[in-house]
Structure 1
Amino acid sequence: MTILLSTLNARYTHASLGLRYLQANMGDLQDVTQLQEFVIGARTTDMAEKLLQNKPRIIGFGVYIWNVEETTKLVALLKRVAPEVVIVLGGPEVSYESSEQSIVQLADYLVTGWGDVTFPQLCKQILHGPKPLMKIHAGVQPPLAELNMPYDLYTEDDIKNRTLYVEASRGCPFKCEFCLSALDKTAWPFDLDKFLSELESLHARGARLFKFVDRTFNLNIKSSLKIMQFFLDKLEAYPEDPVYAHFEVVPDHLPDALKEGIKKFPAGTLQFEIGIQSFNPDVQTLVSRKQNNEKAAENIRWLCENSHAHLHVDLIAGLPGEDIASFAQGFDRLLELKPHEIQFGILKRLRGTPIIRHTETYGLVFDPHPPYTILATDRIDFNAMQQLVRFARYWDLIANSGRFAHTLPLILHASASDSPFANFMRLSNWLYATTDATNRIALERLAVLVAQWLVTEGMDEEEASDVLRSDYAGQANTKLKAQAARKTEKALLQRQAQHMAVS
């Protein structure tokens, strides 16, 4: 083994698609290239020891917003104990504003942007000469037809235990300034028949959980329908061993042909991630987001009422030009549509994104450390932003967890004179004042605290306890019931393992 590809994933169940693309396109270096993934939180010395045990000459690291700090420590350690090993960096976190980053200063080389072609070329020069003169190499973007697909590099262990990331296209035609895809000029599709052939092979090997990373799955409806038909065919052929597919969709583009396909999916087999981000037209214009809000709301309502798809809908707090009142109005509007989950995110300044152009005009203050979260704007001060951060955390614990199904409506309507957002914000502020914590709160304690808050809001103590008990009663064998109802990724991974064991 001469070349080692590595990254620190956020969770073990995540499998790096980017590294597998590099490995698939190493050409005549593929036989001397291996992949070794870690999970954030691992000891730096342990990772370094494992990376060095086969004496690689080159280590390439995929660097992302969630792992840059730990990867920096790892690279620093490697350069101390094994300075002869050449370190090459790549990934979105180091592709922009590179010169100011300490990890780039520590490394030997950097490939910015697409690495599928440029990384193998760089490795050949490092190994066989002439030695590269430049430290930073801009990645060449080849036609997608020239790339080898990486899906046969998912191992049997990956299929048994991990989410399989796939992509039918790269890029995005939209210009939302908070997203790195704003820098793309368009979306580029892979050859669809070839891609579906790869999915067929994965399915034959036992894969049942597919997560698409395409930014705009429903941009090309003909392609979307063909991909959905692939999964519908599998569901019909293997009803006792169903597949599960996750797509990111554009909220205001759901023609009738796509609706008809969506309606055919049974419960627990389809999830849509839908980015609303903001319902404020002025804010949308500021961040170059084009969205028909009425059509988007109509489509979300249709999906909730006419399909079995699980809906995960995103909002972002802290966008330039948006105050708390505007965000609250958008939150309440989305809540009325009744998606299964509202992902309440806080704006982050991803390196390279155009959002930074609003910094001075709208008083944007970002944390200088990853993940570069917004701390304040000219309309939301630091204290208020921290309240929003806590709201988001408690919302995950109470609403998105599904554990308080009977209690949540009482929380949201605790005071008839206040909006659901205002009611939950009062609970959030009360929880923080009472516990001084937003994590490591045991479920039993959280339930007691919620009941106490409902009593402070004027609810009868016995009635509050009865409602909480009804939620608990519905959670006998909580994990099993939640898995059966929502077909979570963990459940699908377990079933994949069972399938592999008998196949």
Structure 2
Amino acid sequence: MPEIILATLNAKHIHASLGLRYLYANLGELQPRAAIREFTIDPWPIDIAEQLLVEQPRIIGLGVYIWNAERSQQLVSLLKQVSPETIIVLGGPEVSHEWQNQAIVAQADYLITGQADLAFAALCDQLLRGEQPPGKVIEASPPPLETLQLPYAYYTEQDIAHRLIYVEASRGCPFKCEFCLSALDRSAVPFERGAFIQALEQLYQRGVRHFKFVDRTFNLNPEQSVALLEFFLARMDEQLFLHFEVIPDHLPERLRCTLQRFPAGSLQLEIGIQTFNPQVQRLINRKQDNAKSQANLHWLRNETQAHLHADLIIGLPGEDMQSFADSFDQLAALAPHEIQVGVLKRLKGSPIIRHSEPFQMRYNPAAPYNVLSTDRIDFPTMQRLNRFARYWEMVANSGRFQRSLPLLLDNQPFDRFMQFSDWLFSTTGQVHRIALKRLFELLHDGLTGPLSVPPATAARTLEADFNRSGIKGRPQFLRNTVDPDDGANLTTNRHAARQARHH
């Protein structure tokens, strides 16, 4: 049985922890005495505790993140009640900052703050040799990347077959956007290219075809970016899919030419816009050339086949609802395939905290620490915007309403979708778990009601989307709508056509 267990609670089973695999890869001589055990946030913590303790480990290293903070706290509490002799070592971004008053830290035996790739192995070595570390909290400095063993060999065949495979070509970020923990980094540092590409080749040979890069700024170094893209272009097949996060205002010509060579369905670019308001950008120390960003988005949308996923944030300091609406409309006009509307979260350690009092920013005290109100957006309005974000994900980002979405948004994307969002909530009282067939019916009622779209136009457009959905059983509005071209019932027309074919 392993003496050391590396564990975490992932948000979903499809996720595989890159951090645990880095820790395991760098255990050195202790590696044969260790094992990785991953769970999700769905099981009861008591059941996870049982599974961990059945192996009787001496040390449990637990990765704590914003999505598993509450469950991890419950798990540690249970572990220390049932098996107080088991040593609990915490790490991860959620406990690396502002840890002094966290109950989970008080209950655990040790905490490693920062990048624990090497520090965890050193601590385990001390503990297993019976030595007493000098203190409970170990502050780990970022290790030189050339000293690290890469973790990719420790993705199992099951991981490759069923889970997302995360990779990183670099660590850190040179930008100082205050809502992000990467604002604490000094710079972005690449891994040695030859070793990293060799690791990618090994993953590719093992059958990996979906690579999700976690780099904050993949296109910061165009030479590195192009080299990696060329690696994948030389191995392109129908299954290959790549995800990169890119900065929007940096797209040199060599990189453009390379991006143009990727076929449809093979490349997704996540593009952080966050806001187009220059005053808000200055306030949060975000350096972004809006004109270049818009031009690059336009070029990517029209000159490449990449799937574009662009991000906006609700609730930034200094931004009111109209400012957010303006950014949303500008971004919608550029037609990315998805607009991810997120609500500002006060990540522990992020510099955004300095704006809390000047802008009366009030945050949820529990994870995910989302902003509840500001001096520009009161709580009821923030709730409306939260619902806007959830319904946008359900309708626009789902890809199920490609024909109907332009009808819904027309030439006033934010105002019309907010009107639809308000109506949808007043009608259903729900922000999730709306069955797809019912959602088609609600879209029809919203289009023909508050948004004043002619019923026949709404029905024809929604019918095109419905026919692509694969859902059985037609919604009521498609059975009853009258076609203005001949005044006949649409269903009656189909029935008559079928009879004519039989005769």
Q: Which amino acid aligns with 1:24?
A: A
Is 1:464 matched with 2:455?
A: no
Q: Which amino acid aligns with 1:294?
A: A
Q: Is the radius of gyration larger for structure 1 or structure 2? A: 2
Query: Helix, strand or coil: the match of 1:327?
Result: helix
Equivalences for residues 321-332 of structure 1 within 5 A:
321-332=318-329
Query: What's the CA shift for 1:131?
Result: 1.2
Kept in 2, the 8 Å contact 1:117–1:140? The answer is: no
Is 1:301 matched with 2:298?
A: yes
Query: Helix, strand or coil: the match of 2:402?
Result: coil
TM-score where L is the length of structure 2: 0.92
Q: Which amino acid aligns with 1:375?
A: L
Distance 1:130 1:221 in 2: 47
Distance 2:375 2:313 in 1: 16
Equivalences for residues 64-463 of structure 1 within 5 A:
64-235=65-236, 239=237, 241-413=238-410, 419-456=412-449, 457-463=451-457
Q: Which amino acid aligns with 1:195?
A: F
Kept in 1, the 8 Å contact 2:271–2:308? The answer is: yes
Query: Helix, strand or coil: the match of 1:248?
Result: strand
Query: Helix, strand or coil: the match of 2:234?
Result: helix
Distance 1:117 1:474 in 2: 51
Query: What's the CA shift for 1:117?
Result: 1.2
Tell me how many residue pairs correspond in the alignment.
470
Kept in 1, the 8 Å contact 2:440–2:466? The answer is: no
Q: Percent of aligned positions with the same letter in both sequences?
A: 54
Query: What's the CA shift for 1:477?
Result: 7.3
Is 1:3 matched with 2:4?
A: yes
Task: Report Cα offsets for 1:105-160 as digits up to 9, x if no partner.
Answer: 11000000010111111111111132123111101322100000000000000110
Equivalences for residues 28-47 of structure 1 within 5 A:
28-47=29-48
Query: Helix, strand or coil: the match of 2:396?
Result: helix
Task: Report Cα offsets for 1:318-348 as digits up to 9, x if no partner.
Answer: 0000001011001000000000000000000
Distance 2:464 2:207 in 1: 38
Query: What's the CA shift for 1:469?
Result: 1.3
Query: What's the CA shift for 1:242?
Result: 3.5
Distance 1:477 1:395 in 2: 21
1:501 maps to none
Kept in 1, the 8 Å contact 2:341–2:389? The answer is: yes
Task: Report Cα offsets for 1:213-262 as digits up to 9, x if no partner.
Answer: 00010011100000000000001xxx3x4311110001000011000000
Q: Which amino acid aligns with 2:456?
A: E
Distance 1:309 1:344 in 2: 20
Q: Which amino acid aligns with 2:356?
A: T
Measured on the aligned residues, the alpha-carbon RMSD in Å equals 1.1
Distance 1:162 1:396 in 2: 23
Distance 2:464 2:129 in 1: 69
Structure 1 unaligned residues grouped into runs of 5+: 479-503
Distance 1:117 1:13 in 2: 27
Query: Helix, strand or coil: the match of 1:462?
Result: helix
Query: Helix, strand or coil: the match of 1:411?
Result: helix
Query: What's the CA shift for 1:406?
Result: 1.4
2:479 maps to none
Which of 465, 469, 473 pairs up with 1:475? 469
2:61 maps to 60
Distance 2:295 2:82 in 1: 59
Q: Which moved more, 1:431-440 or 1:37-46?
A: 37-46
Structure 2 unaligned residues grouped into runs of 5+: 473-503
Distance 1:473 1:127 in 2: 62
Q: Which moved more, 1:442-451 or 1:194-203?
A: 442-451
Query: What's the CA shift for 1:463?
Result: 3.0
Distance 2:454 2:266 in 1: 40
Q: Which amino acid aligns with 1:400?
A: N
Task: Report Cα offsets for 1:21-71 as digits up to 9, x if no partner.
Answer: 000000111110100000111121211111111110000000000001001
Q: Which moved more, 1:459-468 or 1:77-86?
A: 459-468
Q: Which amino acid aligns with 1:164?
A: I
Query: What's the CA shift for 1:454?
Result: 1.4
Kept in 1, the 8 Å contact 2:166–2:211? The answer is: yes
Query: Helix, strand or coil: the match of 1:98?
Result: coil
Q: Which amino acid aligns with 1:453?
A: G
Kept in 1, the 8 Å contact 2:14–2:164? The answer is: yes
Task: Report Cα offsets for 1:158-196 as digits up to 9, x if no partner.
Answer: 110111100010000000000000000001110001100
